[in-house]
Structure 1
Amino acid sequence: MTWHRNPLCGFDLETTGVDPETSRIVTGCAVRFGGGQPSTARSWVVDPGVEIPDEATAIHGWTSGAARSAGRPAAESVEEITAALAEAADAGLPVVAMNAQFDLTLLDREARRYGILPLFDRAVPCVIDPKVLDKKVDRFRRGGRTLTDLCRHYVVQLDEAHTAEADAVAACAVTWKLANRYQWLKRLDLADLHEQQVHWAREQAEGLRDHFARTDGKQELAASVRLDWPLVPAPRAGVSL
């Protein structure tokens, strides 16, 4: 049986910002998807311990007051999220995350912030990123590449975009559609698929970096493009997160 017929572990975070080095988790979800069984999800609301900027609230809907009231302490939640993903990886489930580099790097930094053993020190997850896959199989397609864009293109329902559970489920559904449409993807075993994505993601990031470098007004963005996938290595000791 090919990997896309077995369960997937969808993962998504909603956060305080767009920098994985400094942003904090507001909500998270790990969902078991597929394998011939109904989806089951475990979700977290987190008190991030900092104010949530208005621009982040405009995306996911959580205000600082609401997160403080409904959220659990960040350290407890980060430990549970990390443990849930490690358990899934140990069970052989791939971790599916849209723009995995961001979510997995941010989770890593949150773990280090609270003295928690990070995911990649607990397990060796095979990661699947529908954003990387889509750019590989349909490189020259015009238009956006957000999760909403991919759901529209691959005909996947997404009713509550920017809620962690809906986005985690949608990432899995898009991945399933990709594997079903481009059947050579599902013929790769998970370890090979993971390694191939390391190379594809690097090529894609290099292309973006080069685009910024030659585009007037965007040259300064080139230096911010990271080539690592699915995890940006943590800063050296002594460098503040």
Structure 2
Amino acid sequence: MESPALFEITPSSESWHTRRRVGFDLETTSRFPHEARIVSAALVIFDPADQEEVRVREWLVDPGVEIPPATTAIHGISTEYAQAEGQPAAEAVPQIVVELTKEIEAGSAIVVMNAPYDFTVLQAEAQRYGVGFPVPRPVIDPLVIDKQVDKFRRGKRTLGDLCGVYQVILDGAHTAGADAKAAVEVADCLARNYPQLQVPAEVLHDLQVQWKAEQAADFQQFLRRTKPDAVIEPSWPVAAQVLPGGQGL
């Protein structure tokens, strides 16, 4: 069953984008979420009740494994730097989970670009260090939403690309704090541009579950024109499994 068309959604005065939103982002050692270890993390809090514009909580983490040069080239954190300046992962991971859990329990909208990657990494790390992992809800994912509201736009849809489309300034790309902040700002722009997205966070969360499944099915059908066994993971906001070739990302 297909989800409601965007124009059928009625805006609400209880919209998520006027309430507390928390950007969440991880920088890691790998693009494969079940293999990746956390190198840095950030929670960036947008709250109308706060006097300050935003509040940022960041962690630099020693992942306990070598950071491949290819990923260091992306986020700038080397093995040596993480070992010298970072918290041990066994100490940092529980802190990250606890702070994120507090926001979820308080009902904050957690804004995450490509949520299945970050939440799957954090879930695997939590299991690795014996920490309980919360059910991530409500989540706002600018990638899923952008694909839904502008399905036929050509080009890539990385965070940097979306910042260009929605005229959001991204200073310090691929640092957890900058990416988390930009994700919230892109999500806010989406809400302003498409009033139908102005609904309670829980409602939009459920819509995104449907949208992600439909998007995965469409992409899988496209790939199977040339690769009959292609499989695209439809689960959101946490990937259910690792698929061949990293398709669970």
TM-score by length of 1: 0.90
Corresponding letter in the other structure for 1:49: G
Q: Is the 8 A contact 1:109 1:234 kept in 2?
A: no
Q: Quick check: 1:9 aligned with 2:46?
A: no
Post-superposition CA distance 1:94-153 (Å, at most 9, x none): 110000000001100000011111122xxx520000000000000001111000000000
Q: Quick check: 1:88 aligned with 2:103?
A: yes
Q: Quick check: 1:199 aligned with 2:176?
A: no
Correspondence 1:124-163 to 2 at 5 A: 125-163=137-175
Q: Quick check: 1:35 aligned with 2:48?
A: yes
SS in 1 for 2:230: helix
Distance in 2, Cα, partners of 1:57 & 1:213 = 34
SS in 2 for 1:51: coil
1:209 maps to: 220
Per residue, is there more helix in 1 or in 2?
1
Distance 1:221 1:157, change over 3 A: farther
Stretches of 4+ aligned residues off by more than 6 angstroms: none
2:233 maps to: 226
Distance in 1, Cα, partners of 2:122 & 2:92 = 11
RMSD of aligned residue pairs (Cα, Å):
1.6
1:62 maps to: 77
Q: Is the 8 A contact 1:83 1:119 kept in 2?
A: no
Corresponding letter in the other structure for 1:129: D
Distance in 1, Cα, partners of 2:127 & 2:241 = 9
Distance in 2, Cα, partners of 1:6 & 1:86 = 18
SS in 1 for 2:210: helix
Structure with larger RCO (C-alpha < 8 A, sep 6+): 2
SS in 2 for 1:198: helix
Note the C-alpha offset of 1:62.
0.7
2:33 maps to: 20
Unaligned runs of 5+ in 1: 236-241
Alignment length, in residue pairs? 227
Distance in 2, Cα, partners of 1:173 & 1:132 = 15
2:68 maps to: 53
Distance 1:214 1:45, change over 3 A: same
> Which of 168, 175, 188 is the matching residue for 2:187?
175
Note the C-alpha offset of 1:33.
1.6
Q: Quick check: 1:104 aligned with 2:115?
A: no
Distance in 2, Cα, partners of 1:159 & 1:146 = 15
Percent identity of the aligned residues?
45
Q: Quick check: 1:72 aligned with 2:87?
A: yes
